[in-house]
Amino acid sequence: MLPQPGQSLSEELVDLTADDLVVMMAFRRRPRIVRPLLQQLQRDGVPVLLMCEPQAHSLFPLSRWQLCAPLDSVSAYDSYASVNSLINLLANAFLHETLDSGRPRIHDIATLYQQLDELEQR
């Protein structure tokens, strides 16, 4: 939902309703806009699934659901392995629930990739 060049975040938010779902990924080193954005979505009655690290508990009241993934690592950098696994799980669950329209869409996208030579070949 990040705005493209020349757009504003407000343009993306204005049409959201209680029938939509916003999946907010708000991991460590969050931009300042996250809290005001969650507050606005809450005022507008837009349901939010918050994906974050467990330490982000101060944001929990601003979302309907929370999925936490640890970022801890023995190295100097955060590890997003569990986050990526969670994203994969959600994407596959969504695709499974919408197989009638999801599978043909994935096929059509793959066909366009080939027709437009958009991606490098393996």
Strands (E), 1-122: 22-25, 48-52, 65-68
How many structural domains are present in the chain? Answer: 2
Q: What is the pLDDT of residues 4-62, one digit of tens each?
A: 788 888 888 999 999 999 999 999 888 899 999 999 999 999 999 999 999 999 999 99
Same domain, 20 and 59: yes
Residue 102 domain boundaries: 80-122
The confidence score (pLDDT) of residue 1 equals: 61
- By C-alpha distance, which of 23, 25, 2, 27 is closest to 12? 2
Q: 9-31 burial string, b = 16+ CB within 10 Å, else e?
A: eeeebeebeeeeebbbebbeeee
Kindly state whether residues 68 and 88 are assigned to the same domain: no
Q: What is the pLDDT of residue 12?
A: 85
pLDDT at 96 (0 to 100): 86
Task: Decide if 22 contacts 46 (C-beta within 8 A).
Answer: yes
Sheet hosting strand 65-68, strand order edge to edge: 22-25, 48-52, 65-68
Residues 60 and 93 grouped into a single domain:
no
In whole angstroms, give the CA distance from residue 41 to residue 55: 21
**Whether residue 119 is found in the same domain as residue 84:** yes
Q: Is 108 a residue whose pLDDT tops 90?
A: yes
* Same domain assignment for residues 55 and 3: yes
Residues 61 and 11 in one domain: yes
pTM attached to this predicted model: 0.78
84-106 confidence digits (pLDDT tens): 999 999 999 988 888 887 788 88
